[in-house]
Amino acid sequence: MKALILDRYKKKQPLRLGEMPEPAVGDRDVLVAVAAAGLNPLDAKIRDGEFKPLLKYRPPFVLGHDLAGTVIRVGRNVRRFKVGDEVYARPRDGRIGALAERIAVDEADLALKPGNLSMAEAASIPLVGLTAWQALVQLARVKPGDQVLIHAGAGDVGTFAIQLAKHLGATVATTTSAGNADLVKRLGADLVIDYRRQDFEKVLNGYDVVLASLDGETLHKSLDVLRRGGKLISLSGPPDPAFAKAAGLNVVLALVMRLLSLRIRRRAKARGVTYSFLYMRANGAQLAGITKLVEAGAIRPVIDRVVLFEATDRALAELGDGRTKGKVVIEVSSGASA
């Protein structure tokens, strides 16, 4: 099958368009013909080798953490899906590979695609949708009346998280540039902080939750806007001991995680704030819940652009410049257009 292959770990290493073997289909697997694949900063970080100690992918392998497509075969123990179903997923770690014509996905990681979305629109959702869900619903338990700050509101996670927080009944503040203010307001943001002209930590206070996805300085400043008992959730690190335990890391790596997060955890504890690092996990049941919200009109995908399969390298290189609004989606096969 045609695939975009990473031959070695290296910063900005080009992906090679080539042939890979057909995926093996286990008893609980669903083979999906990929129509579209979402592109994420995580793909660039894995390509650059940043996750080598944690994710044991051995080149050559195929990147890609978001997909939408059609079921073309099911394993003998699969019960929830059949050939012809339109589905979407964020495959679990160790089984990524959406930048290919076909992928085998564990049934537990898969959900039916929202019926009101195109393949490209659906492919933009799984990773960012599950990240926002696990941060705001599972970890923060956001409820009506809560005040939530979402950093980088015009970014891939931010555009989804604003909508989910509003659906949960929160008052939402977000940081972005002035040029993106109208976008985030349309998504539901109640207060927009222009990060180029305003210091968010001087404007906001008494917040219940901060969802942080930026640099370490922003993470530490975020403590200042939280009330005692508030929750600081980071998507960009540093990882904490709870993450090391959940990931089953060895003693050395667990110690490294503990030391990396020691400063922020101490500062959070001194202020009566809970600090958590979130690394999203594949979850088809949660994705099915997101499907219901999308079909009900509570959340809509935000796509920066859809690009051809052969243009993936350029799109991946541009992810790091901070100029995208929402998600970049790769059209793997025809019929994926937004």
Task: Report the percent of the chain where pLDDT is more than 70.
Answer: 98
Please write the tens of the pLDDT for every residue from 40-86: 999 999 999 988 877 889 999 999 999 999 999 999 999 999 999 99
Checking if the pLDDT of 324 tops 80, the result is no
Determine the average pLDDT of the residues in 286-314: 95
Supply the pLDDT for residue 236: 84
Confidence tier at 256 by pLDDT (50, 70, 90): confident
Determine the average pLDDT of the residues in 136-146: 97
pTM over 0.85: yes
Q: Show the 3-state SS of the chain.
A: CEEEEECCCCCCCCCEEEECCCCCCCCCEEEEEEEEEEECHHHHHHHHCCCCCCCCCCCCEECCCCEEEEEEEECCCCCCCCCCCEEEECCCCCCCCCCECEEEEEHHHEEECCCCCCHHHHHCCHHHHHHHHHHHHHHCCCCCCCEEEECCCCCHHHHHHHHHHHHCCCEEEEEECHHHHHHHHHHCCCEEEECCCCCHHHHCCCEEEEEECCCHHHHHHHHHHEEEEEEEEECCCCCCHHHHHHHCCCHHHHHHHHHHCHHHHHHHHHCCCEEEECCCCCCHHHHHHHHHHHHCCCCCCCEEEEEEHHHHHHHHHHHHHCCCCCEEEEECCCCCCC
Supply the pLDDT for residue 281: 94
Supply the pLDDT for residue 5: 96
Checking if the pLDDT of 334 tops 90, the result is no
Determine the average pLDDT of the residues in 304-326: 85
Checking if the pLDDT of 116 tops 70, the result is yes
- Supply the CATH classification number for the domain 128-277: 3.40.50.720
Architecture of domain 2-125+301-331: Alpha-Beta Complex (3.90)
Determine the average pLDDT of the residues in 117-141: 97
Please write the tens of the pLDDT for every residue from 217-233: 999 999 999 999 999 99
Determine the average pLDDT of the residues in 322-328: 81
Domain ranges for the chain, please list them: 2-125+301-331, 128-277
Confidence tier at 249 by pLDDT (50, 70, 90): confident
Supply the pLDDT for residue 337: 67
